[in-house]
Structure 1
Amino acid sequence: MARNHEFGLDTFGDVTLGPGGDPLPQAQVLRNVVAEAELADRLGLDFFGVGEHHRHEFAISAPEVVLAAIAGRTERIHLGSAVTVLSSDDPVRVYQRFATLDAVSGGRAEVILGRGSFIESFPLFGYDLSQYQDLFEEKLNLFSELLPQEPVTWTGKLRASLTDQEVFPKVEHGSLRTWVGVGGSPESVVRAAHYGLPLVLAIIGGSPVRFAPLADLYRKALAQFGHEPQPVAVHSPGIVAETDEQALETLWPHYEVIMNRIGRERGWGAVTREHFEGEAGPNGALYAGSPETVARKIAATLRTIGGQRFDLKYSNGTLPHEAMLRTIELYATEVVPRVRELLAEAEDEDDGAVDEDGAAAESAAGDRNGV
């Protein structure tokens, strides 16, 4: 089973600091993201995701365009969003853009649909924030109707209806791989299961253990809706360096700035170093440390969640491009192989325990029967 796990990277195109300590132009950040994806592809990682935002801290507002540029300079890595804010977009256009990406990349496109954690896209594109929930519900419903690639007849309240409408281009090798990204609500998990779509758990704060019941709920809901089992992925932030101390010292000033900036908008208190180190500890959602530390934490999370993929959000505020390149290199060459080893060892132990339990039961049955 460990051999079947996938490992990816996510970025929002965070605006980073240049060598002189000043923020880089967003255009340069976008070019750096393409270079980071090229490195991930050369090192054999499975997935590269870019998130959609419409804020000055992030350079990526058109994920499919960035991914198309990456597709032309990579060979095997799968490319997707992390996430596409479906509530403030049109499902047909999103489908068309990712179907096009799938064609130009040779079948490597994926889309992760979600509501996003920021709301700037609603006024930007003329959507009423009071319809936040209804917009996502209706648009996900329409998107699910597009996946079979057959003429669609559909009626909604917030978007024009369709009658026997075909959508182009067609995905060449079957259905477009579509995930639903969720934060921490049971309702969102059940919604993903209702449509039979794979699930991405965005674990960005607190203990990953608290998401295990959500993963269990998702699997139970899939069965109740009559769907086949689907993979569960985890998205979490982090950094990898040669030592734990180096990772924490490198990340802290950039983490502090971005968390406090967002915190002021949302009414949070100032982030402390104690909180930061707690999140980087064994029970937090920040995967920061040496390759061994990060690998052990990822392996533990995947086992706890029952996950099939882990995507490290390697960009963190103004963290410089060079530090991110080093994280990608260590993640691909040291962390991922070590996670696979740890998962394989754990599976061998589980198999051994099952064998021992079976042998004990067989022996007990023999005793009862006088054998």
Structure 2
Amino acid sequence: MTRSPVPFNLLLAALAVACAALSLGIGPAHLGWGRSFAALVGAGDPIAQTIVWELRLPRALLALMVGAMLGGAGAALQGYLRNPLADPGVLGTSSTAALGAVIALYYGFAVSSPLAVPLFAIGGALVGLVPLLLLAARSEGPLALILAGVAIATAAGAGISLALNLAPNPFAAIEIMTWLMGSLADRSFLHVWLALPCIAVGLGLILLQGRALDALTLGEEGAIALGANLKRTRTCLLIATAVGVGGAVAVSGAIGFVGLVVPHLVRPLTDRRPSSLLIPSALGGAALLAAADALVRTVPTLEEPRLGVVTALIGVPIFLHQLIRARREW
């Protein structure tokens, strides 16, 4: 019997909202959750309202949006590539988006406008989509797509390393490295409105591919026999990943392990069909990143730890645990 996904999805949605709400009361300025909630509904003092509405609320919303995009993209790519190690980085999208941001930082465009870095990152993701489509255009299988993604990611990584090597001063290199480690600090509603359409398009296209991903569990020939258009599915997933993950990386920097780990966490609680994994992975990614972003603000350090570092520290033990459990089942 196929279990109903609605209760599980509602539970994950409630968990994500709770993690985001928790983060509203955490920060250098101690407000408490009561004062934060009062400021959120417009009943608090002006200082609390400014802190909640201009600093903490945009950050909480971005954590939910970015986590949902990374989790959903990871589940979709694992289903399409039939590879449990697939994540948004396997197609090189995260790397080309990061390269675009590094170009903005290296040449000083970030000084002229606070939106230069995210806009260049989105542009980098879209530019990286072109060779990916061309390199994998003549193949129905996932192998060519994986190899093309590895090639693009390697080239983008080389570009980032070259920028660090040729940085005109150590401060420029530090700025680039800081951005690459990922963070949601000092984000505003400008970043929310910039990332929202990209993430909405990306997640929307991913959710439309559920039936094709289910058909691919029977293999490519079986999927074609069931009427799946594999070229259209691949194109939609590539566009969704480039636009959605590019928009996410543009405002958060490089954040790893969310798209890899979250599908493995929620898969045992679903019926294991790729289509039934998409929404839970998006909600689980939102909850995980919101919780991680709240965690970085509780660490008693002089400078806030970078979000990408924290997600890696959380993700590695979880992934190793899942791997050990899978070996026992095998």
- Length-normalised TM-score, structure 1: 0.24
Higher relative contact order (CA 8 A, sep 6+): 2
Kindly indicate which of the two structures has a greater share of residues assigned to strand: 1
Q: Which structure has the larger Rg over C-alpha atoms? A: 1
Please identify which structure carries the higher helix content. 2
| Normalised TM-score (structure 2) | 0.26
